[in-house]
Amino acid sequence: MRFEDVHNVTMIGAGTMGAGMGVCYAQAGYQVTLYDVVADSLEQALVRIDNSQRVFVEEGLIPEAEAQAARARISTTSDLARALDGVQFVLEAAPERIELKQELFRDMEALCPADTILATNTSGLSITAIASACEHPERVGGQHWANPAEIVPLVEVIRGEQTSDNTIDVIYRITEKLGKVPVVVQKDVPGFASNRLQFAVLREALHLVNEGIVSAQDADKTLKNGVGFRYPWLGPLETADLGGLTTFHSVAQYLLPALSTMQKTPEFFDRLIEEGKLGIGSGEGFYDYTDCDRDEILRKRDLYFIRQLKLLREIQSL
């Protein structure tokens, strides 16, 4: 499959990620089919797409005519064979269960044309293990997005042990066409790159709270208003370069041994799970959301991300 030959794209799974990724493909000019076994999920996906596009238009990221044209390129189905008929590129966004994904990829390969590229949006499951269900694992690669998919620029392009150079090239070039920022993960390691960095920070934050060094709220404030304030423009290695490697190297000698190396979650985190305090969806997690409007919190999050995206694009164009 050549990059130039990809015109029809299918999303396997029409949840939050499937809908967000689907609208990005449609806005880039691809004909998109959203597939899900649950009809209600397809209807909810279209509502989410409409809401997302409305915000993008209001914020001036896309014109109304472009949004309408993209929406016209999206169709839905609960028939897998129909979803994969004549498709050149498939992106799977099913629940994170390896057996389910392997079964899907086995079926997808059997129903797709012989040269179709099969990609997975798994957050950390092995690309190699998923591809092992296929007769042609060289056509399988990872395309891992972050939530909300239609806003966050990063997309990881992950190579399984048998993924071909051509498959990586096609996924990478498609990602660029979508207006995203592709990063190639050359080794199929757990968590890839983005989640390894995210969970390294989470581990230290959990350690700081568990040891009574700072509260959960102050751990978040520290990152958002300090290091995290810089991260949209400067990564950790750029920050070290600009700050001076001698200083960072010196600090690393005494600080790295003091950082958390915990290999399992601390008890206070386990208790939250046991007590059903699972985050915003249950009304409580590290924070109490009892008197909060969940939709308003997510709306403000997305609006902040959109404004940040606009600023990044403005700076990058200078």
Check 123, 126, 150, 194 and give the catalytic one.
Answer: 123
Beta strand 140-145 pairing with 154-158: antiparallel
Check 41, 150, 156, 194 and give the catalytic one.
Answer: 156
Q: What is the CA radius of gyration of the chain?
A: 21
C-alpha to C-alpha distance for 47 and 30, rounded to whole angstroms: 20
Check 52, 126, 144, 194 and give the catalytic one.
Answer: 144
Active site residue 195: yes
Question: In this structure, how many other beta carbons lie within 10 angstroms of the beta carbon of residue 64?
Answer: 12
Using the CB atoms, write b or e for 16-37: b if 16+ within 10 Å. bbbbbbbbbbbbbebbbbbbbe
292 membership: H or E segment, kind and range: none
Per DSSP, which regions of 104-177 are E strands?
A: 117-120, 140-145, 154-158
Return the structure tokens found at 217. 């709220």
Active site residue 123: yes
Distances, alpha carbon 271 to alpha carbons 48, 103, 172, in Å: 33, 34, 41
Active site residue 166: no
Check 75, 132, 166, 195 and give the catalytic one.
Answer: 195
Helix axis angle, 16-27 to 39-58, nearest 10°: 50
Give the active site residues.
123, 144, 156, 195
